[in-house]
Chain A
Amino acid sequence: MSILKTFKLGGIHPKEGKLSANSPIKVFPLPKTVYIPVSQHIGAPATVLVAKGETVKTGQLIAKGEGFISANIHSSITGKVAKIDEIVDSSGYPKKVIVIDRANEEIWCDNIINSDPNTTKEFTPEEVKQKIREAGIVGLGGATFPSHVKMSVPEGKTAEYLIINAVECEPYLTSDHRLMLEKGDEILKGISIMMKTLNTKKTLIGIENNKKDAIEHLQKLSKNYSGVEVISLKVQYPQGGEKQLIDALIKKEVPSGKLPIEVGCVVQNVGTAFAVYEALYKNKPLIERVVTVTGDSVKEPSNFLVRIGTPIESLIEAVGGLPETVAKVVNGGPMMGKALSNLSAPVTKGTSGILLIDKKEASRKIPKNCIRCARCTMVCPMGLAPYLLENLTNRKLFESSEKEGIMDCIECGSCSYTCPANRALLDMIRVGKSEVNTIRSKRVKK
């Protein structure tokens, strides 16, 4: 057996918990009401285009992303705008949402093709970027960075590789896994569109070795596409981190503070590739996504194709309601997801899973003295010294922590996960990062 590729620094291997890996994607019933946030992406919130009482069709543009880094928002159902409201989402803050009550009959926007098109239509790069932008596509791995921005290679740089992030290194989540098994062809079509747009000859699809069926499936399909290679990776968290994945696949380090294009790479999530296919061949904007609903005491861990704006509580009801033993609900995976205070918060473009955590795992343990075991430095994938960054934050030495590379932290949580003294290392690093950000913005003003 050959040695599987992986990234070189640090990493952990938490229990995988992929309970829903064998549950085919089910189409989730249309909700009575959807709550569609105008900011589901990194960048400026979209500007609302509809007013209360207005009737909207499925796929209709309801909020427009202004400025380069922003994304369009579309109605995910047919109905009437009930109000423009605020709702507390997984950030813990109230966010502006467009509330739409569903009409009985679903009417799709005219140009959307709702069957499987058998087309090999060619597009110019400008058309592709335009359509990706119009469709409101963002990085579906969870970072939700607007995809059209990534598709625009800055002048003087070339995209030698398109890297498809199909790692799904977060425990429990299986939405990308199921998508690869069920929509492999569409994903590969989306990939070839992106390759042409980026003028890239080589695509690497990185998949962790705990998804052997997906690896085999895509390997078989990719034979019909030139320059597309599926690479099986060792199971190691956080391999889905952009910089870690590039390192694992092509052994290049993205320099600190720089983007992947610096080493000739554009990284897109596998779900994003599928969304690109839908946008180009079906004119379908991003109004639905696959969401894993899972947890150790969930009776039927499932994968649903869910319309954006569906309340999370209805997803929980669909898997048998909130079990008695559950004490925490997480939007995302167990390593980087956000704990929800409000279960009526909606599914957004970045929601890859809803994880129900049992009481025994939900609370933190009491922190003790650091025993200087150095495990945090050994597992940090960015080669930082988390114990030191925590200490510098406690002592309010933010300038020093900036020198120690605190801004390189990708917040993967490996340090807190590993710490035998139960210290909240990442919490303190987050505090430090936000202080350094403040210092930096003051510096710019001067």
Chain B
Amino acid sequence: MGQSQLIISHSPHIKGKDSIESIMYGVVIAMLPALMASAWFYGIGALKVVIFSVIFSVIFEFLIQKYLLKIEPTVKDGSAIVTGILLGFNLPSSLPIWMIGVGALVAIGIAKLSFGGLGKNPFNPALVGRVFLLVSFPVEMTSWPRPLDTRTMLSIPDALTGATPLGLIKEGVAKGEPIAEIMKNAPSHLDALFGAIGGSVGEVSALALIVGGLYLLYKKIITWHIPISFLGTIAIFSGVFWLIQPEKYVDPLYHLLTGGILLGAFFMATDMVTSPMSKLGMLFFGAGAGLITILIRLFGAYPEGVSFAILIMNAIVPLINIAFKPKRFGEVKNG
């Protein structure tokens, strides 16, 4: 190589290993334990939902970018795969395939690409897709196949549907039954930990979600700020109510293990595009999402509130970014 061909550019001259691809595929790997747990408890239906959701998401992204927006498709960066898996994780394993397609179209086409693609979307695309389906097809979106019974190792046919633990509690409390009575028919804490409960594909196994979350933390794809403030706020607020009226409110651990809280805390609230840019902002964001979740769970019409809580917090991220700037080194306060 002669001198005339030397490359000239500004420093720095070396680059770290992280790329958008490495982050996205890291998230995919972190979601595999939850996917495998779901396949174990729900069988082929769970896999089918996730696979179709991924296929629809990737195809819609490719088609819209290539033929509608006429730009170079970015499906290789892996973000459509992540959105696809997350959307699948937020659906019941019995959802008809065409509805999955509608959800993916809303998630990718409206929530992501219409805002300018990866990095420009204010709302988490998978959650927008889920909420769209929830309000459009409320029956299908809240029909949960029964999971494999871990005691008998028998799976119950898809036709039979069971409620989620949170659904059971909401219904029971509405009828005025005491918690102790409701809990007799609800899955145990241990079932919730391993995943033998009713719910969306990706949210059933608390243990698998925690394993995936720890992997994300270990790989430094996420930081602890959002999950800890999210989970901590939920534990504190549900704990306060439980301590005051244990006959009316379920214990905080049960809240943490059931529904979409762990999925939300590790995989959806931490979506970097739609979460704040400073550590303090992240703490505020996580706490806000936790608070809204628990308010919806305890006092709202829906048994579960993670999706709404995260979307509401997504909406105020620009304000959080203004309010919580990083702490500057040697900052001189004016006046």
Contacts and interface: CB of A to CB of B under 8 A. Distances in A.
Q: Do A and B come from one complex?
A: yes
Interface in A367-423: 368-375, 377-378, 380-385, 387-388, 404-405, 408, 411, 413-414, 416-418, 420-422
Contacts of A258: 330
Interface of A is mostly: loop
Interface in A306-356: 322, 324-330, 332, 334-343, 355
Given A374-B272, A382-B329, A357 B13 contact: yes
B119 interface: yes
Contacts of B13: 328, 330, 334-335, 337, 339, 355, 357, 361-362
B18 A256 contact: no
Given A365-B15, A375-B18, A341 B118 contact: no
A380 B330 contact: no
Q: Which secondary structure characterizes the binding site on chain B?
A: loop
Contacts of B20: 368, 371, 420-421
A74 B91 CA distance: 76
Interface stretch (B3-11, B62-70, B303-311): B3-11
A334 B14 contact: yes
Interface in B1-55: 1, 3, 5-16, 18-20, 22-23
Given A255-B332, A380-B326, A361 B15 contact: yes
Contact of B277 (A324, A372, A421, A426): A372
A171 interface: yes
Given A383-B327, A408-B328, A420-B20, A336 B12 contact: yes
Contacts, number: 171
Nearest to A326: B1
A66 interface: no
Contacts of B6: 327-329, 339-341, 343
Nearest to B18: A420
A216 interface: no
A182 interface: no
Contacts of B326: 377, 380, 383-385
Contacts of A324: 1
Given A254-B330, A383-B328, A322 B14 contact: no
Given A372-B273, A420-B18, A383 B11 contact: no
B8 A341 contact: yes
A369 B116 contact: yes
A439 interface: no
Contact of A322 (B1, B15, B325, B327): B1
A224 B8 CA distance: 47
Contacts of B332: 255-257
B155 interface: no
Contacts of B330: 243, 253-256, 258, 382, 408
Interface residues of B, number: 44
A142 to B, nearest CB: 11
Given A256-B330, A383-B331, A408-B328, A422 B15 contact: yes
B273 A253 contact: no
B117 interface: yes
Interface in B118-139: 118-120
A268 to B, nearest CB: 20
A15 B14 CA distance: 9
Contacts of B18: 375, 418, 420
A364 interface: yes
A328 B328 CA distance: 34
B7 A430 contact: no
A321 to B, nearest CB: 11
Interface in A1-16: 9, 12, 14-15
A258 B329 CA distance: 12
Interface string A250-281: 00011111100000000000000000000000
Contacts of A371: 20, 23, 118-119, 272-273
Contacts of A411: 11
Interface in B290-309: none
Nearest to A359: B1
Nearest to B223: A378
B195 interface: no
A94 interface: no
A171 B15 contact: no
A427 interface: yes
A111 interface: no
A120 B166 CA distance: 83
A334 B12 contact: yes
A384 B328 contact: yes
B77 interface: yes
Contact of A335 (B11, B276, B327, B329): B11
A357 B277 CA distance: 33
Given A371-B20, A372-B272, A374-B275, 13 more contacts: A243-B329, A255-B332, A256-B331, A324-B1, A328-B13, A334-B13, A335-B12, A337-B11, A365-B19, A380-B326, A385-B278, A416-B12, A418-B18
12 contacts: A9-B327, A247-B329, A328-B7, A329-B6, A355-B13, A357-B13, A364-B9, A369-B117, A385-B325, A385-B326, A420-B20, A424-B10
